[in-house]
Amino acid sequence: MRLLLLACLVLAFAQPFTAKTNAFKSKKETVIYLDNSFSMQAKGNKGELLKRAIQDIIAHVPENENITLLTNNNVYKNVTIKSIKNDLLQLGGYAATPLTSQAAYLKSNTFFSNQKSSLKNLIYISDFQDSNQGFSIDKDSLKTNYFVQLQPVNNENIAIDSAFISSKTASEIQLSVLLKNTGKPLENLPVSLFNNDTLIAKTSVSIDKEASTTFTLPTNKIINGKISIDDASLQFDNSLFFNINNTEKVNVLAINEANDDFLKRIYTVSEFNYTSFALNQLNYNILEAQNLVVLNEINTIPNALIAALKQFTSQGGSLVVIPSSNITIDTYNNLLQSFQSTFIHFNKTEKRITTINYSHPLFNNGGVFEKQVSNFQYPKVNGFYNINSASLSSILKYEDGAPFLFQNKNTFVFTSALNKEHSNFKNSPLIVPTLYNIGKYSFKIPDLYYTIGKNNSFEVNTQLQQDAVLTLSNQTENMIPEQQLFNNKVLIKTSETPNTANIYSITNKTDVIKNVSYNYDRTESNLLYSNLSTTENINLNNSVAQVFDTIKSDSKINALWKWFVIFALAFLLTEMCILKYFK
């Protein structure tokens, strides 16, 4: 017994302990990714998923522990919870353009050091909304991945998916609204339409999976619109902003040595300011004010016109070239060389126009074709010009794949005359959508609304003084978007900004030119989630508290010396009892 007593005392003074191997690593690195996308607005057992996650992080991360925390749009590097507590509590804003799950994972890993001696923990907090994108985690012996999948109480949500103008007359506009539902069918869902803050129409719909409704608006009235529903789930998709501005007409100039009646029928006064001149009567001073110039079967292009057209296209103007069957090739090539193409020679051979490039911007927007047509009455030409081009985008092609109409930048070139002696293209149903959309393409009037996070562009018909800029602004925000100045217009491009859904005024100093609307992407409206149970190389949890308890347990060192002291005392008492009662 005495030997056991002595053995326990020796072991107690040796201070033995048990711990996981990682606990011996002196340096600890913790990176937390907190998903603040709109789907995290969904309600969990204890409130909104994002707000509850923030409270759990504050409650369970040691106050003075050094961590890196990132969201979709913010990074707090090498900080303590104590130092960023107020920032987290004010993190009520959701990210309009969230990272994909894979992108967020890869970005999070960039904040770890290359030191092999440190204990690395990645804590990934998200609802893991299903995006139909692959998500793979590589095995890393130096790092532990803790994934926390937060789950809402239910997956029900009703969203205003989109709005579009379904028809338009001289007096009325039909505005169609599409709604989507991921929950139970609803018999009576109110849908309201506002102009500024004034309610101008209200209706109700019955919705199962999808529903649509239509509002009638006057044609010649400016509408700063908002469509609104009342749904208790996600809030960001309960409103959709849109704008109907004064109708702007596209300026089109035709320079003719052939009949232009077909152009007059396409470029009507309701949407275009169409002007026509014979070549020998052209007023060069009006070129600068045009959006689109059509060269209609000119035999020889004068040098002065070539120079003027090069300047016109360099300033953002669009050009359509329709050659005659008897051109002076050198003059045409003098112009076309600016667009990396030239005519070679005229080939008097009949060809059919059989191929439509449905993916081209002229045809893939606006419902020109409901479906791809493979069997239609092919138009034909009796002769055409062979083309030499280093870079072109074919829009319509012959049966042998050669281009009938091609584009290079903002110039559109036909390779055949369109008069009835050489082609029946004027009688084809293709001519109207082709030339009409070229006209619309030449001046990008702002859409009904734009989606935040997409590459958006539109043009504003205005002239700016040197060093002047246009701004996008509303009651709370003012920003200068990317813009390019031309002679008679300004091209505006946006993507990440603005980042708040609303109506914005395009202003030149204090003058409001027009309004434009931005809305959040509706991808987050669909409350479907990924199943992570089969994902390898992760520790899957369903609460933030559970993760930090696990980390604390894994890094805990269990001292055993106390137990050996207790055993030593027990053996001592046992020996004393033996000596006393069994002497």
pLDDT of residue 23: 47
Element (H, E) at 447: none
How far are the Cα atoms of 91, 99, 516 from residue 498, in angstroms, in the given order? Answer: 18, 17, 11
Asked if residue 448 is part of any domain, the answer here is no
pLDDT of residue 59: 87
- Are 162 and 150 found together in one domain? no
- Are 65 and 87 found together in one domain? yes
- Are 413 and 320 found together in one domain? yes
Asked if residue 168 is part of any domain, the answer here is yes
Residue 19 pLDDT > 60, yes or no? Answer: no
- Are 178 and 277 found together in one domain? no
Asked if residue 520 is part of any domain, the answer here is no
- Are 110 and 225 found together in one domain? no
Residue 155 pLDDT > 90, yes or no? Answer: no
- Are 36 and 128 found together in one domain? yes
For residue 482, list its beta bridge partners: 493
pLDDT of residue 63: 83
Residue 18 pLDDT > 70, yes or no? Answer: no
CATH number at residue 173: 2.60.40.10
For 310-363, write each residue's pLDDT tens digit.
999 988 899 999 999 899 999 999 999 888 888 988 889 899 998 888 888 888
Domain boundary among 247, 274, 305: 247
Domain count, the chain: 5
If you average pLDDT over residues 79-97, what whole number do you get?
83
Higher pLDDT, 280 or 576: 280
In whole angstroms, give the CA distance from residue 19 to residue 559.
Answer: 9
Q: How far is CA 220 from the centre of its chain?
A: 31
CA angle 246, 250, 251 (to 5 degrees): 130
Residue 293 pLDDT > 60, yes or no? Answer: yes
Domain boundary among 441, 469, 492: 441
For 354-411, write each residue's pLDDT tens digit.
888 888 888 876 555 444 555 567 889 999 999 888 778 889 999 888 999 999 888 9
Mean pLDDT of the chain: 86
- Are 136 and 205 found together in one domain? no
- Are 231 and 279 found together in one domain? no
Asked if residue 533 is part of any domain, the answer here is yes
Tokens 């130092």 belong to which residue? 83
Residue 159 pLDDT > 50, yes or no? Answer: yes
Contacts of 41-44 spanning 24+ positions with Cβ under 8 A? 41/94, 41/233, 41/234, 41/235, 41/236, 42/127, 42/152, 42/153, 42/157, 42/233, 42/234, 42/527, 43/152, 43/153, 43/233, 44/150, 44/151, 44/152, 44/153
CATH number at residue 298: 3.40.50.880
- Are 387 and 285 found together in one domain? yes
- Contact between 48 and 232 under an 8 Å Cβ cutoff? The reply is no
- Angle 544-554/49-60 helices, nearest 10 degrees? 30
CATH number at residue 139: 3.40.50.410
- Are 293 and 333 found together in one domain? yes
pLDDT of residue 565: 65
Q: Is 136 helix (H, G, I), strand (E, B) or coil?
A: coil
In whole angstroms, give the CA distance from residue 380 to residue 373.
Answer: 17
Q: Which of 324, 284, 311, 295 is nearest to 438 (CA)?
A: 295
Residue 226 pLDDT > 90, yes or no? Answer: yes
- Dump strand ranges (E) for 96-195: 119-126, 143-149, 158-168, 172-181, 186-195
Q: Would you say the pTM of this structure is higher than 0.75?
A: yes
In whole angstroms, give the CA distance from residue 236 to residue 96.
Answer: 10
If you average pLDDT over residues 507-529, what whole number do you get?
90
pLDDT of residue 547: 82
Asked if residue 3 is part of any domain, the answer here is yes
Q: Domain range for residue 579?
A: 1-19+559-583
Asked if residue 277 is part of any domain, the answer here is yes
For 173-219, write each residue's pLDDT tens digit.
999 999 999 888 999 999 999 999 999 999 999 999 999 999 999 98
Asked if residue 169 is part of any domain, the answer here is yes
In whole angstroms, give the CA distance from residue 503 to residue 242.
Answer: 7
Higher pLDDT, 265 or 100: 265
Element (H, E) at 302: none
Asked if residue 141 is part of any domain, the answer here is yes
- Are 419 and 306 found together in one domain? yes
- Are 207 and 274 found together in one domain? no
